[in-house]
A and B are shown apart, each in its own frame.
Chain A
Amino acid sequence: DGGITQSPKYLFRKEGQNVTLSCEQNLNHDAMYWYRQDPGQGLRLIYYSQIVNDFQKGDIAEGYSVSREKKESFPLTVTSAQKNPTAFYLCASRTRGQPLNTEAFFGQGTRLTVV
């Protein structure tokens, strides 16, 4: 059953703690993305990766870090430097370089709450 999986669905974190959100895909996609969504707002790009062992900052990368050691996995760490981390986080993936398949597939999201 192919798809993109985010875990956990809900996550609670104490202030000052780092936390890692998981994103795994078995679609053989090259590109992966992390977005943040605040209530009633659009999606803001945090980081994206076009290929294994490479990634670029998006529009709101401060306080976040990522790695791309495997094609299937693109974990996001929300560090204590992120001042307002409570939000809904979405991961997406898509094929690159093939004009016929450039739509993105999204996970179901992780809702992070800082307590």
Chain B
Amino acid sequence: SQQGEEDPQALSIQEGENATMNCSYKTSINNLQWYRQNSGRGLVHLILIRSNEREKHSGRLRVTLDTSKKSSSLLITASRAADTASYFCAPLNYNTDKLIFGTGTRLQVFP
């Protein structure tokens, strides 16, 4: 399956702490994307990492990709209460164009 599976399912931390979420997948990919969803809203794209990249940064976000292990991680540093949301990964293969999401990680950041 091309679907990504996020781990853990839920994560609760205090403001200022770092949050790490993991994603595993089973097929070959061209890129892997991370998205965020606030409750009752659409998903918003956060960051994309290509299969030939190992690490990428965007503000407080750091994404890693290990294609040999078929896994990726999303690190949010110095978390804020506003980071409270669900986070999803989506591995993408250009041949199928099938964008499939897992069940996500629900992050709760307490003030």
Taking Cβ atoms with an 8 Å cutoff, the residues of A that contact B are: 31, 33, 35, 41-43, 45, 48, 50, 56, 58-59, 88, 90, 92, 94, 96-97, 99, 102-109, 111
Contact = CB atoms under 8 A, between A and B. Distances in A.
A106 B90 CA distance: 14
Interface in B29-52: 30-31, 33, 35, 40-45, 48, 50
B43 A106 contact: yes
A8 to B, nearest CB: 15
Contacts, number: 64
Interface string B71-109: 000000000000000001010101001111111100000
The prevalent SS among residues of B at the interface is loop
B101 A43 contact: yes
A23 B92 CA distance: 22
Interface in B11-61: 30-31, 33, 35, 40-45, 48, 50
Given A42-B88, A88-B40, A96 B97 contact: yes
Given A42-B88, A99-B50, A106 B101 contact: no
A104 B99 contact: yes
Given A90-B43, A103-B48, A104-B45, A41 B31 contact: no
Contacts of B99: 31, 33, 45, 48, 92, 94, 104
Given A48-B97, A102-B48, A103-B48, A42 B42 contact: no
B45 A108 contact: no
B98 A58 contact: yes
Most chain B beta-carbon neighbours within 10 Å: one of A104, A107, A108, A111:
A104
Contacts of A35: 101
Nearest to B101: A43
B42 A107 contact: yes
